């Protein structure tokens, strides 16, 4: 007969390590809190807490219960918040995953337009993710829609290209690369052969495309650090730890003073909308129609028409 109040009461005591402070936090009389904990332990048939005159400690079973209970209470609180939002006038919630560079410039534009045209929509956004992470999240049904970089391997997902952009080089002022390229706007990949580079994890879309491009040209690049988030990649570049091959849209998230150079014969990479094929939500359909109207300045490949 364990209910959510038992879990919330146990979490408060476990975190405060004190019944009095936990009772104050819950706005509950201490005898009532003690009774709840005793009932919980009775229902479970195991002691969760070791009580002393000054302090409360967790038993091994209590340590395990704390970890799992925190997750359950967090999910319950999120559910309550979502239900209240819908009840207060929101017509629905979409959970959106997003790769880092899209979050810097495209996502804010989409969210702003959705606020005007879809006022009943609430977007729950998780950004700074890589495509493999987002695809796994879809399999766990944690996302309804995403902005990511193909390829996508699951046949259960629909993919609609939005934008096409090229790779560029980011480097810090004063770096050897910047010194050599003072008067250049476009550089060949061979210029990076002896450079320390900050890269993305192996298997990520940007790393795969950049590596394949280097192999075609017979250039061996040297990655000294790998970071999943574009913001971290750029922070390392700004700190003088190396240069980086990044999507062109990373310019909009640039640290003050970072330099960007176009790459000769740069390969392209797409940014696409992705959702589950079997999702027939009308709210999702409205969001997709809105998002597909976007064209990024100087990033869209004019030869590719975005489907309506």
C-alpha closest to that of 103 among 260, 271, 267, 256:
271
Pairing of strands 121-129, 145-148: unpaired
Please give the domain boundaries of the chain with CATH numbers for all domains. 4-87 (1.10.10.10), 92-163+270-291 (3.40.190.10), 165-268 (3.40.190.10)
How far is 261 from 167, CA to CA, in rounded Å? 9
Contact residues for 23 (Cβ-Cβ < 8 A; gap 6+): 29, 30, 32, 33
Contact residues for 277 (Cβ-Cβ < 8 A; gap 6+): 155, 156, 157, 158
Contact 98, 126 (CB under 8 A): yes
> What are the pLDDT tens digits along the chain (308 aa)?
778 899 999 999 999 998 989 999 999 999 999 999 999 999 999 999 998 777 899 999 999 999 888 888 888 887 777 666 555 444 688 999 999 888 777 888 899 999 888 888 889 999 888 899 999 999 888 999 999 999 999 999 999 988 888 999 999 988 988 888 776 778 889 889 889 999 999 988 999 999 999 999 999 999 999 998 888 999 999 999 999 999 988 887 656 678 999 988 888 888 999 999 999 888 899 999 999 988 654 444 433 333 33
Tokens of 36: 């709840």
Identify the sign of the CA torsion 172, 173, 176, 180: positive
> How confident is the model over 200-231, as pLDDT tens digits?
999 889 999 999 999 999 999 999 999 988 88
How far is 289 from 127, CA to CA, in rounded Å? 21
The 3 state secondary structure assigned to 87-118 is: HCCCCEEEEEEEEHHHHHHHHHHHHHHHHHHC
**For residue 256, what pLDDT is reported?**
65
Tokens of 240: 């003088």
């Amino acid at each position: 007969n364990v209910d959510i109040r038992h879990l919330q009461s146990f979490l408060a005591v476990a975190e405060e390590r004190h019944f009095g402070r936990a009772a104050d936090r819950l706005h509950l009389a201490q005898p009532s809190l003690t009774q709840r904990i005793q009932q919980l332990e009775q229902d479970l048939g195991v002691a969760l807490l070791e009580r002393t005159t000054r302090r409360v400690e967790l038993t091994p079973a209590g340590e395990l219960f704390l970890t799992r209970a925190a997750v359950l209470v967090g999910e319950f609180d999120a559910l309550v918040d979502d239900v209240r939002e819908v009840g207060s006038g929101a017509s629905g919630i979409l959970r959106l995953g997003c790769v880092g560079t899209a979050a810097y410039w495209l996502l804010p534009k989409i969210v702003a337009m959705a606020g005007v045209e879809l006022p009943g929509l609430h977007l729950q956004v998780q950004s700074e993710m890589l495509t493999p992470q987002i695809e796994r999240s879809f399999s766990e049904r944690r996302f309804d829609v995403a902005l990511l970089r193909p390829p996508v391997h699951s046949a259960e997902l629909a993919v609609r290209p939005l934008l096409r952009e090229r790779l560029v080089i980011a480097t810090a002022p004063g770096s050897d690369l910047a010194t050599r390229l003072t008067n250049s706007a476009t550089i060949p990949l061979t210029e990076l052969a002896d450079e320390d580079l900050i890269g993305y994890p192996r298997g990520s879309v940007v790393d795969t495309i950049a590596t394949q491009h280097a192999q075609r040209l017979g250039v061996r690049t040297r990655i000294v650090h790998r970071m999943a988030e574009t913001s971290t990649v750029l922070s390392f570049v700004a700190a003088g730890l190396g240069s980086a091959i990044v999507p062109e849209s990373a310019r909009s998230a640039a640290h003050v003073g970072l330099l960007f150079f176009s790459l000769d014969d740069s390969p392209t990479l797409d940014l696409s909308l992705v959702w589950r094929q079997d999702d027939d939500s009308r709210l999702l359909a409205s969001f997709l129609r809105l998002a597909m109207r976007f064209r990024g300045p100087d990033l869209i490949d004019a030869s590719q028409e975005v489907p309506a």
